[in-house]
Structures are given as C-alpha cells and as structure tokens.
Amino acid sequence: MSTEARLELGPSSLTDALYASIRKRIVNGEIPQGEKLTEVRLATEYNVARPTAKAALERLTANGLLRRTAHKTAVVPVLDQDEIRDLFFSRVTIEKAAVSALAVTGEVPADAARAQVAIEYAARDRLFEDQVEADIAFHSALVSAVGSRRLSRMHELILGEVHLTMGQYKAHRKAAPSTVASEHAAILEAIRAGDASTAADRMAYHLDQAQSRLLTTLTDGSDEVVPE
Amino acid sequence: MSTEARLELGPSSLTDALYASIRKRIVNGEIPQGEKLTEVRLATEYNVARPTAKAALERLTANGLLRRTAHKTAVVPVLDQDEIRDLFFSRVTIEKAAVSALAVTGEVPADAARAQVAIEYAARDRLFEDQVEADIAFHSALVSAVGSRRLSRMHELILGEVHLTMGQYKAHRKAAPSTVASEHAAILEAIRAGDASTAADRMAYHLDQAQSRLLTTLTDGSDEVVPE
DNA sequence: CGTGCATTCTTGTCTAACAATCTTAAGACC
DNA sequence: GGTCTTAAGATTGTTAGACAAGAATGCACG
C-alpha cells in the first residue's frame, strides 16, 4: 500500500505485518487487558480478509499474547500472580542457561552492550516505551548470542508475555533505572570474567527483583489497568 | 482409546486431527526426511480444503517438524550434527530445570512411573514405536509434573524434533533398553530423595548418552532412514 | 555450451458462503 | 416477580473458487 518503501524489508507478508501491529498495540497497553478481539473486527479495522486476521490471531495466541478456546473470542489475558510467577520461573530457566553458556566463552555480546546504553538514554529522557524495548532487547541479545536456535525460539515463546506485563503494569516506573542498569552490568561483568555460576546467580537475582516489583504493583491498588 | 471413550476428547477440530495425523506419519518415518509436502497434496490426500492443510503445515513448521520459507514448499527437515547438539542442549536446559524443581517436593510423578513400566513392556515385546512413545511420555511426564504451563509449552516446542530423531534414526535399537530404564530409575530415585543437583546431573548424563548414540548412528553408514 | 525467457508449480490473499457453536436476550411458566 | 427454556444473533470453523505473485523448471536461441 501507499508509496512503497523498497528498502525497509519489514514484514513482507501481510499476515506478518498484521501480527506485528496488533502485537505492538497489545504490549503497549493500547489494547487493554480483558479486551475482546474478534476476527471480523480486526479484518475490518485493518481492511484485510478474515482468514488473514484469523492467522494473525492464531500466532498471537501461540505466543501467549491472547487467550482463546475453540469457538470463543480471543481476549487479551490478565496474568494473575501465579501466572506471573510461572512466567518468571520459565524465564529464569532459559536466561540462566544462556548467561552460563556465554560465560564459558567469556564474550559479552555486542548487542547486549548496545542495549545497555539504550536503556540509559531512554531512562534519561523518560521514554518509557523505549526503555521497555531496550530492556527486552538486552535480555534477547543475551539469549540469541548463545547461538542456539531452539533456545531462542523457546525464549521468544514467553517474551511476548514478559513484554505484556512490563508494558501494561508499567512496573518499571517503580524501579530506579540505575538499579536495573547496574544489575545488568553485573551480569555482563560475570560473563566477561568467565564465571558461569555467578552470572547465573546474578541473572536469577535480577529477575527475582523484577518479579517482586511486578507483584507489588499488582497487589497494590496501583494496578490501574482499567481502560475506561 | 478404543471403544469410543467419551472422556478423552480427541482432536475435535479438523485441523487438529490433520495435524496429529501428519505429525505421527513424520515422526514415525513414514514420511521420510527431505520429503516435500505441498498444501494441495495434503488437501487432496485427506480430502480437506487447502486452508485447512495450510494451517496444519504452519503448526507443524512452528513445532520444528517441517521447514518452510516464504513461497516455498514445506519439507521434512534433515537434522545435522550441529542441530542435534543444539536440540539436546535446549532439551537438557528444560529437563534439568524440571527434575530440579521436582526434587524440591520429593514427589515422583505417577505418570513418569507408569511410563517407566510401559517402556519395559514395549522393550520386552520388541514394540519399537511403543518404546519410543513411552520414552517420550516419561520425559514429558517429568516436565508437566512441575505444573508450569510455560515450561511445558517450551518443552513441547522441541519435543517434536526429539521424537523425529528417535523415530527416524531408530537409534534406540542400539541402546540396551535396560540401560535406558536404569538411567530413568536413577533420576526418579534422586527426585524421591529430594536431591536436586543429583537429579539434574543424572538427567544431563542420561541425555548426553542419548545424544552420543544418536550422533554415532548418524556418522556411521548405518543411518538408513529409508522407510521400506 | 551457456544464458535468458516463458511456462508451470506453489504459495499468499481475497471473496463468498454455509455449518457448528457460543452468547445473549426474550418469552413462557411457575 | 423470578427462573427456566428457547430462539435469535454473533462468532468461529471449514469449504470452494479465484487471482496474483514469487520460485523453479525446461526450452529455445544465441
């Protein structure tokens, strides 16, 4: 559509583009928790055919960004405490394995270092969404630097929900960005030193802190996720 | 199964049934490595519409049982050594975490114990496919007993490929079933004793043995994947 | 003998439609 | 008036047919 940018090979497929767009709207809280997403609604909103919308919904469901049972409308999930704990348990499992593997080589991934810088800039300028984005990028960089396609795929499987919680609850406002940055730095340092168990421990600590912030936000009355 | 059990709700959806059928044919080597699967072929073979076949292919691709790039025909993948190593690395990550978690409670999952027995029966009767099935069931039972939905989903993400290698290369013929059984028993024992690190170590050892057998089979000329 | 073009195969997307199922609300009965 | 039943509406599951775009193959021509 429109003026046809030939360079940015964004999602070439229509379904991909649709998936990416909806995903972004969900994780940023633009489409709030509990909201229903019907196939026809998306099809008309984006002016695509219903099967296309259906395919996008199925992919979002597979990545945990939507819940849907047979014959029922897809809905943006509301993660309760147990589910958040489950999410972080799975996340810790993957990311501990990742930093342990990285420590063996002692190489700090360049992408992770770059993301680290991006977090600081975003925090300084109070760009909340960018900060979340850079945080996700940091952790993704660590996992993908391991070079295991399957580990990365498993990580991506839960990353959508991670992004969801961060974007929706905006728990990061509570965390002093410098705290996050120093925890990240400590992890990278352990990797560089080749100390696998310390790197894993620091990752576990970092994620435990993040989880605590999230759960606190949730139990406080301050979980103002209410849309209207 | 058999006489119409009203409880076990088999694949209610047509797509589900199609997915399950193709998956079974692939992991059992009935559809050999390198074989192309076009949408129309499946649609005509199973007498379903092309979009239905398409959906099944996409799910199979997502689970690693097929490879497919845009506009090209899906093909049953041939896993080389690097990919098998990657697969087992990912698998170890998940399953070590699972048995560690189980050891904390000290409860041996009933399903795992049952699968253990099933393996012995299948081995005694030389039912190779059942043996593979029971082996998969054993490991799946351990993971699902943790009670983490996301850990199970990540495990399922790679289980298709695990099944694929076992069914295709038939590496299990080389393993004395008693060896596998005793390794399994040792893992359960460590769980029962509440010793997390030992359970994890034993799982790592068990999977390392399995990987070695697989790689040996692969480098030998004996990787006769030919079906008939 | 090699290169370029055209044919053909396959996939991506759309439109239209019907069936099955879930949800909602209205109406009947107590 | 309240509760249960039932019917209408909404939503998804599946199919059919069609067209366009990308990929692969072979043939003709240089």
Chain C bases near protein CB atoms (7 A cut-off): 9-17, 20-23
Nearest CA-CA partner of B74 in B82, B88, B64: B64
| CA atoms within 13 Å, Cβ hemisphere of A47 | 1
- The larger pLDDT score, comparing residue A226 to residue B92, is at B92
Asked if A86 is an interface residue toward chain B (Cβ–Cβ < 8 A), one would say yes
CA pair distance B99, B113, nearest whole angstrom: 14
A154–B154 CB contact, under 8 Å: yes
Q: Is the pLDDT of residue A12 over 90?
A: no
State pLDDT tens for residues B70-105. Answer: 889 999 999 999 999 999 999 999 999 999 999 999
Instruction: Quote the distance between the C-alpha of residue B46 and its chain's center.
Output: 24
- The distance of B51 to chain A (nearest Cα, Å) reads 9
Residue A173 DSSP code:
G
Residue A164's Cβ-count burial label (10 Å; 0-12, 13-18, 19+) is buried
Average pLDDT, chain A: 88
Confidence bin at B178 (pLDDT 50/70/90): confident
Residues from chain A that touch B12, judged by Cβ atoms under 8 A, are 70
Q: How confident is the model at residue B9 (pLDDT cuts 50, 70, 90)?
A: very low
Residue A9 has pLDDT above 60, yes or no: no
- Predicted confidence (pLDDT) per residue in A106-131, tens digit: 999 999 999 999 998 988 888 888 88
Which nucleotide's C1' sits nearest to the alpha carbon of A37? D11
Confidence (pLDDT) at A140: 98
Could you tell me the distance in Å between the CA of residue B123 and the C1' of nucleotide C14? 53
Q: Is the Cβ of B11 closer than 8 Å to some Cβ of chain A?
A: no
pLDDT value of residue A70: 86
From chain A, the residues in CB contact with B51 under 8 A are 51
Tens-digit pLDDT profile for residues B28-79: 889 999 999 999 999 999 999 999 999 999 999 999 999 998 889 999 999 9
The answer to whether B188 and B120 have CB atoms below 8 angstroms apart is no
* pLDDT of amino acid A7: 36
- Is A197 in the B-facing interface, judged by CB distances under 8 Å? no
Residues of chain B found within 8 Å of residue A12, distances taken between Cβ atoms = 70
Interchain proximity B154–A157, CB inside 8 Å? yes
User: A93 touching B, CB under 8 A?
Assistant: yes
User: What is residue A216's predicted lDDT score, i.e. its pLDDT?
Assistant: 87
| H helix or E strand, kind and range, residue A96 | helix A81-105
Residues in chain A: 228
Contact A187, A103 (CB under 8 A): no
Q: Which nucleotide is nearest to B69 (CA to C1')?
A: C11
Chain B contact for A73, CB < 8 A? no
B186's enclosing H/E stretch is helix B177-193
> In the predicted model, what is the mean pLDDT of residues B149-161?
96
* Section A144-152 average pLDDT: 97
pLDDT at A172: 53
- Tokens found for residue A208: 């435990």
Query: Closest chain B residue to A13 measured between Cα atoms?
Result: B70
Flag whether residue B104 sits within 8 Å of chain A, measured between CB atoms. Answer: no
- Residue A73, CA distances (Å) to A31, A41, A61, A66, A225 in order: 15, 11, 11, 10, 21
Give the domains, in start order, of chain B with CATH numbers: 10-75 (1.10.10.10), 81-220 (1.20.120.530)
Calculate the angstrom distance between C1' of C21 and CA of A68.
14
Set of chain A residues whose Cβ sits within 8 Å of the Cβ of B71 = none
- The whole-angstrom separation of Cα B105 and Cα A182 is 34
Rounded CA gap, A43 and A45, in Å?
6
Contact A167, A225 (CB under 8 A): no
